[in-house]
Structures are given as structure tokens and as C-alpha cells.
Structure 1
């Protein structure tokens, strides 16, 4: 039994795919930035002096990392509605993505912070740096530089995970493909185009994050140039 591909209908539906791809970007970028900031705060909390804070941050991370993202999206969307807070689907999806990526970013950043030698922190204290200065110059920036490749992969996975939000009617890329295939009855072609679109978005996101890393982490850039020579 043969199958004849017909992408003509897909070309006519390109505005729907473009709108879906743009909404995917609108979900991914804010969730990446806010989720990373929240994850960094969680990592600091897990390394803090107060036992209750360490326990609370650890409990949050374990709960999020050991439950499916789809369940978390449903909890935010339907749970808040049950409590009387009617949250738009986009806002609920964005909140769930932020809460999810924060837990994973927290563990990545905590690993980077734990890799900072205690002697460097002690040397900074001897130089009279404040606790805030030590955290920023001696712990956070070097830790982020160490784990930046892992963070990059996690953020790309987050972008791909936005497809789950189609389950609460967020009109992102996967939802656009579902609508197009229901109108054209060409599901194979529709999802092939979506797979290609996600691949292109992943490559663009990796390239953007690589450029950001080159701009922020000058030492990494110099080391890379030295290795190239």
C-alpha cells in the first residue's frame, strides 16, 4: 500500500504554523529567563544556613522533578479555576513552565555552585568582600559558566515541552498542526512540518544561547580561541 505525500494544503496553512511557532517562542523565552532566576534562588536556598529553607526548597524541587509536566499544567490551569481564579490558558501554561524549569535549573546551578572550591570563597572573605559580592563574583558567575552547556540543553528541552500546553488549548505549534490536520486530513504532512519547525527552533535557540554565552563569559571565549589555535 503506497502513500502519496501532498504538501499543497500545508503551504496554504502556513499562517497558522507561523502563528503557532511565534506563540511557542513567546512561551519559551519568558519561561527560560524567569525560570532560571527562580531556579537560582532555589539553589541558593538549598545551600543556605537555615534548615527550614533548605527543606522547603528541596521539597519543591523533588515534587516538581518527580511529577509529569502535563499534570503540573493541569494543576495550574484547572486547579486555579476550581479555586475561583480564572487564569487564561496562556498565563497558566507560562506559569507551569516557569515552575517546572525552575526546579531543573536549580539542580544544575546547585551542582555548579558545589563545584566552586571553598578556598576561593575563603580568599574572597579575606579580601573583605561582602556576602552579596562573594555570591555574585565568586560563586554565581563561575558556577553558571561551568554548567552553561547543561543549562542550554535544559532550556531547549523546555522549548520542546511547550507542545504539552496544547492540551489546555494554547494555540502553539503542536496545536496549530492538530488544527491543520483536522481541516486537511493530512496528519503525516502536518506533523512532518511541525517536526522540522521544532528542529529549526531548537537550532536557533542553541545558536542564540551560544552567542549569549560568548558575550557574557569572556574567559570561556578566550579559552575557546586558544584551543582553536
Structure 2
């Protein structure tokens, strides 16, 4: 094998990789929060007594979960401008990631909500709690506690899938790696390093989410 491994050129471009890491975490965190909020809203719609609302939520969830994420990105970035809706690469990336995350989060949250015994809800009503308090303390908090590990796994997967937004030139870690590769032609070195960076990011994100879970769920509801 005549190929000579040389990682030294990457040191010159480390600031670009660091900027890519920051942007990856930024768009991923925004998408996580937005996706979870939309997911909870979709769960409410799917469990609504209104059949049209349930049908709307189910149709959206099935559409998103059964189409490739890359196609969704292309549709938002390249397709929606035909309808007059234009987004820059970063905006399209955040929107696509948020919508994709919301469909998966909705199914995870729904499973947690349905696992809460109906007797607890009835007990809350017997104590005079309002609907908002019942869902806040008796339904959603225990449900989120039960499904939190699944949500964490989904969030880590979302962060890893952010690499796909490089296809529309969103300036995150994979895009930075592609630009560096175009200048250095050290494909093995750059993508080996980037793979390790994604591994480190996923492990760090898992630790942070676990710490948040311990802090949030260690206190009783008030």
C-alpha cells in the first residue's frame, strides 16, 4: 500500500472543525427542544376525542416516519421555494430536524402517557385538581420520567443525523470536513477524525442528558 497517512494538515484547519462542532450542537439543541414541544402537541392531537384532529396527527407522524430524512431536507430547502417559502441552509436544517424529531418524539411521549394508570387521573380529579395540573403533575411528569431514556436516545440520533444537512451546505461539522477535504485531499484522515468527533459528541451529549434527567427527576412534584 503506497498511501502515506498524514494527519498534520488537519491541525491547520482545527478552528473550522471547532466551529463545525459548535454549529452542530447549536442546531441540534434547537431541534431537540422544538421537536419535543411539537411532539407533545402531536400527542395531544393524536389522543384528542376529535377524529379529524387524530387523523391529522397520525397522517403527519406516519408521513415523517416513513420517508427518508434526506428527502425531507431536500423538500424543505429545494421544494418549498416553489410555494414561496424560502429558507437559508441553516434555517432549513433546523426546520427539517425539528419536524423529523417531533414525529418520533410524539410516538415516544404517547407511549409514556398511555402507560400512566387511569386511576391516577381519576384520583387527581377527586382531589380537585384542574385539567392543566392533572396533565402537568399526574400524566406528563411520570410519563416523561418513564420515557426519558428513549427520548435521550432519540436526541443523540438526531444529533448524529445532523450530518445529513451538509447536503444543502448547512455549515456544521460534516460540511466543514467536506470543505477541508476539498483543500487537503486527505479523505481518510479527515473523516476518521470527524468520526471520532461525532463519537465524542454523542458520548458527551448522553452524559449531559443523563445529568439533566437525574437533576430533574430527583425532586418530587410540588
Give the alignment's TM-score, normalised by structure 2.
0.96
Residue 15 of structure 2 is matched in structure 1 by 15
1:100-141: CA deviations, max 9, x gaps?
000000000000001101111111111111111111111101
Distance 1:137 1:63 in 2: 32
User: How does 1:54-203 map onto structure 2 within 5 Å?
Assistant: 54-203=54-203
Distance 1:84 1:33 in 2: 27
Secondary structure of 1:29's counterpart equals helix
1:138-180: CA deviations, max 9, x gaps?
1101000000000000000000000000000111111111111
| Alignment RMSD | 1.2
Residue 46 of structure 2 is matched in structure 1 by 46
Query: How many pairs were matched up?
Result: 220
Q: How far 1:91 moved relative to its partner?
A: 0.4
Q: Unpaired segments of 5 or more residues in structure 1?
A: 221-229
- Which ranges of 4 or more aligned residues in structure 1 deviate by more than 4 Å? none
Secondary structure of 2:155's counterpart equals helix
Q: Unpaired segments of 5 or more residues in structure 2?
A: none
